[in-house]
């Protein structure tokens, strides 16, 4: 097989990149080690920044997103038993975020790719990347007992944290930065109405909680739990009881409980790889960086990577210029580290760290008091939450 860009990974990053390249007339093949059903079944984030919304529109796939997505102009911070609203729209000059589940975005991208009859290989095994430090990179994989090879101009590694692309880079050519947090998020998805119209981020002596949503009838809730906890030890009743203890009186009264559709524990980490380009292979999304979910940056950072990478490829094929691909890593990392900083700060502010004791809790509450009472501090939070602009 021969293509211009071989994309490894059929998550939102790989699919969005493929759609943007297709619209620009650039041939691409996507190779994914999981099945399409598995990819679509993954429960992930649901908050889209304006940058991501604009990119989905650019890809020509925004119709259902705008029809079904929920525009949010604010978030609520809960501490010392009271909620305080941060006016995202007001503090950023009219910017918002949108609640639209990653599953739904993935479905839109998969259906568009199928409708255009673009080649996607699912359930590929033994995926490997070769010669990406040369002018003739290759991808090999096994499918239905046969070995296949794709010859291409470029490889886009959109295959996630555990993917083959980053793992194939020589050890001396890559630097990794990582912080692992001493707790995880126990998440529960339920077909129940959200407890609030906007997201509630709760700082409590019992630990962090988040009241999120996927639609007007489907809610997503999270609890901070020790990494030693097992999801099997948390019954639905135990989850709802603990969540109730971490809410304010009004939210507790409005909380509607029900059976879980999905329940899991996710560890939290901050992770960045430098650089993101290795010859003719480029890392995008979780292959190059991970953020704790507190700031809702994971999917949105992947989208900004895709924006930079698609622009670079289009520039290369249309103008025969390598400026975009030469600056890809630098441009991405500038935005990535700002998002990493925000996610680390917000995580540190909202979660309970046992080693800091009651003093640490008081310091968090004092900072939150300052944050909600200061227009400058609230503006900084709002600007980062809705997403910093993509610089050329």
Secondary structure of the chain as H, E, C letters:
CECCEEEECCCHHHHHHHHHHHHCCCCEEEECCCCHHHHHHCCCCCEECHHHHHHHHHCCCCHHHHHHCEEECEEEEEECCEEEEEEHHHHCCCCCEEECCHHHHHHHHHHHHHHCCCCEECCCEEEEEECCCCCCCEEEEEECCEEEEEECCEEEECCCCCCHHHHCCCHHHCEEEEEEEEEEEEEEEECCCCCCCCCEEEECCCCCEEEEECCCCCEEEEEEEECCCCHHHCCHHHHHHHHHHCCCHHHHHHCCCCCEEEEEEEEEEEEEEECCEECCEEECHHHCEECCHHHCCHHHHHHHHHHHHHHHHHHHHHHCCCHHHHHHHHHHHHHHHHHHHHHHHHHHHHCCCHHHHHHHHHHHHHHHHHHHHCHHHHHHHHHHHHCCCCCC
Mean pLDDT of 33-46: 84
Q: Does residue 202 sit in the same domain as residue 326?
A: no
Q: Judge whether 179 and 31 are in contact, CB under 8 Å.
A: no
pLDDT given at position 354: 86
What local confidence, expressed as pLDDT, does residue 43 receive? 66
Query: What's the rounded mean pLDDT across residues 266-273?
Result: 96
Same domain, 131 and 202: no
The answer to whether residues 19 and 120 belong to one domain is yes
- What's the domain range around 195? 181-268+352-386
Whether 259 maps to a domain, the answer reads yes
How far, in Å, are 88, 195, 229, 303, 373 from residue 381 at the CA level? 8, 23, 31, 21, 12
- One domain, residues 231 and 332: no
149 belongs to a structural domain = yes
In this structure, the answer to whether residues 155 and 300 fall within a common structural domain is: yes
Euclidean distance between CA atoms 329 and 314, whole angstroms: 16
- The torsion of the CA quartet 380, 276, 110, 316, rounded to 10 degrees, works out to 110
Q: Are 332 and 308 in contact (CB under 8 A)?
A: yes
My answer on whether 108 and 241 are in the same domain is no
Closest among 327, 303, 28 to 154, alpha carbons compared = 28
- Residues of the chain with pLDDT > 70, as a percent, come to 99
Q: Given this model, what pLDDT does residue 392 score?
A: 66
Tens digits of per-residue pLDDT, 292-333? 999 899 999 999 999 999 999 999 999 999 999 999 999 999
Q: Is the pTM of this model over 0.95?
A: no
Phi, psi of 37 (to 5 degrees): -65, -40
pLDDT band at 381 (very low <50, low <70, confident <90, very high): very high
Per-residue pLDDT tens for 77-105?
A: 999 999 999 999 999 999 999 999 888 99
Residues 217 and 309 in one domain: no
Mean pLDDT of 231-235: 97
Query: Would you say residue 132 has pLDDT above 70?
Result: yes
One domain for residues 231 and 324: no
Mark whether 109 and 24 lie in a shared domain: yes
Known catalytic residues are 72, 201, 293, 297, 385
Query: Are residue 170 and residue 306 in the same domain, yes or no?
Result: yes
The answer to whether residue 87 is domain-embedded is: no
Stretch 381-385: mean pLDDT: 97
- Residue 90, in any domain of the structure: no
- Per-residue confidence band for 273, with pLDDT thresholds at 50, 70 and 90: very high
CATH number at residue 264: 3.30.9.10
What is the number of domains present in the chain? 2
Residue 9 lies in a domain: yes
Q: Which of 42, 48, 78, 77 is nearest to 65 (CA)?
A: 48
Does 189 lie in the same domain as 54? no
Query: Distance between CA atoms of 307 and 55, rounded to whole angstroms?
Result: 7
Say which CATH number the domain at 290 has. Answer: 3.50.50.60
Residue range 214-236: average pLDDT?
A: 95
Q: Is residue 392 part of a domain?
A: no
Q: How confident is the model at residue 391 (pLDDT cuts 50, 70, 90)?
A: confident
pLDDT > 90? residue 244: yes
For range 217-240, the mean pLDDT? 96
Pairing type for strands 209-213 and 200-203 reads antiparallel
Mean pLDDT of 280-297: 95
């Amino acid at each position: 097989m021969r293509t211009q860009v071989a994309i490894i990974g059929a998550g939102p990053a790989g699919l969005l990149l493929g759609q943007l390249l297709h619209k620009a007339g650039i041939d691409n093949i996507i190779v994914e080690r999981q099945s399409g059903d598995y990819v679509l079944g993954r429960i992930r984030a649901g908050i889209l920044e304006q940058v991501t919304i604009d990119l989905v529109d650019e890809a020509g796939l925004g119709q259902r997103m705008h029809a079904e997505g929920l525009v949010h102009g604010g978030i609520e911070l809960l501490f010392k038993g009271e909620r305080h609203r941060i006016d995202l729209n007001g503090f950023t000059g009219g910017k918002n975020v949108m609640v639209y589940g990653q599953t739904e975005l993935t479905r839109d991208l998969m259906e568009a790719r199928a409708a255009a009859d673009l080649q996607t290989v699912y359930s590929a095994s033994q995926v490997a990347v070769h010669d990406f430090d040369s002018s003739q990179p290759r991808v090999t994989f096994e499918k239905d007992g046969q070995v296949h090879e794709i010859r291409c101009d470029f490889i886009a590694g959109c295959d996630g944290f555990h993917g083959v692309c980053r793992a194939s880079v020589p050890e001396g050519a890559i630097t990794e930065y990582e912080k692992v947090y001493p707790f995880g998020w126990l998440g529960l998805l339920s077909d129940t109405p959200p407890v609030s119209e906007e997201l509630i981020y709760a700082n409590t002596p019992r630990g962090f909680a988040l009241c999120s949503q996927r639609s007007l009838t489907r809610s997503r809730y999270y609890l901070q739990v020790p990494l030693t906890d097992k999801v099997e030890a948390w019954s639905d009743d135990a989850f709802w009881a603990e969540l109730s203890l971490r809410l304010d009186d009004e939210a507790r009264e409005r909380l509607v409980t029900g059976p879980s559709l999905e329940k899991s524990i996710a560890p939290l980490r901050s992770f960045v790889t430098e650089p993101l380009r290795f010859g003719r292979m480029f890392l995008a999304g979780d292959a190059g960086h991970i953020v704790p979910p507190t700031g809702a940056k994971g999917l949105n950072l992947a989208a900004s990577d895709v924006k930079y990478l698609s622009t670079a490829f289009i520039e290369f094929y249309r103008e025969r210029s390598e400026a975009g691909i030469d600056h890809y890593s630098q441009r991405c990392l500038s935005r990535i580290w700002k998002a990493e900083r925000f996610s680390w700060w917000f995580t540190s502010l909202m979660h309970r760290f046992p080693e800091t004791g009651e003093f640490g809790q008081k310091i968090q509450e004092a900072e939150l008091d300052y944050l909600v009472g200061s227009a400058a501090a609230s503006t900084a939070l709002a600007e980062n939450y809705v997403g910093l602009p993509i610089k050329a």
